[in-house]
Amino acid sequence: MRMLMFGVCLLGLVAGSARAEPYWIAYEGDVFPEEEGWWHIWEGAAERSLEDGVLVIDSLHDIGIADFYTMHVAEAMDPDPGELFVMEWRLKVEKMIGGYPDICVVVYSDEQWAVALEFDESAVYSGFEYGVSAAFEPGAFHNFRLESADMRSYSLSMDGNIVLSGSFWQSATPAEVSWGDGVQGSASLSHWDYFRFGVVPEPGCALLVFVLLPVILNYRECWR
């Protein structure tokens, strides 16, 4: 029975790989994002600069500014069985003024399900879920990673530890990723070291293949 269960898992992984098209889009802070295919959207203009591979967005001079980046995914962006959607970024919110979190990271799935994460100087909030938040050390860079296998539920890790687990919200916008200064009415100074997203093989099943494949081959050899 154990061998049969593994065979089903392996068959599913191979079938999923055959029809899926994993992808990876990485912005590393070496140029402005619009030079690498991101759509730059602004209302009022933030002061932007590149400092040693880090994008700096400064809107402190005007709380009416929104200045962010969007990428529409033309082909299917959601993961197939045996895969994960991953979105990761390294961010420091140095200063914020106003009554609302000013920094946003948003993903919309192929089927118009969404997660919105909002940041102030010391915490991250789930914008579509009441009371879901996690605190962090202010004035420092933190590494964030969102993962989802089904684009209905997600986990958010910060500096290697899971800090939020939640659900996607039904929206009206398909296949899009956005990040930056996304709120008018507040202003901020933020530093972005990188921003990446894509679909990758799910580690558990892929690891199982590599660990147990020699056992299967040996099992077949014994029964010849």
Integer angstrom CA distances of residue 162 from 22, 76, 146, 166: 24, 27, 9, 11
Helices 2-19 and 203-222 cross at an angle (nearest 10°) of: 120
> Which residues of the chain fall below pLDDT 70?
1-20, 204-224
Q: Is residue 170 part of a domain?
A: yes
Q: Is residue 9 part of a domain?
A: no
CATH number reported for the structural domain that contains residue 53 in this entry: 2.60.120.200
Residue 216: the pLDDT is: 36
Q: Which residue has the tokens 């914008």?
A: 127
Q: Is residue 188 part of a domain?
A: yes
Q: Is residue 92 part of a domain?
A: yes
Residue 8: the pLDDT is: 27
Q: What is the pLDDT of residues 124-151, one digit of tens each?
A: 999 999 999 999 999 999 999 999 999 9
Q: Is residue 179 part of a domain?
A: yes
Q: Is residue 189 part of a domain?
A: yes
Total of domains in the chain? 1
Phi/psi of residue 102, nearest 5 degrees: -100, -20
Its pTM stands at: 0.82
Closest CA to 170 of 111, 103, 85, 99: 111
Residue span of the structural domain in which 162 resides: 23-200
Q: Is residue 16 part of a domain?
A: no
Q: Is residue 30 part of a domain?
A: yes
Q: Per DSSP, what are the bridge partners of residue 124?
A: 119, 134
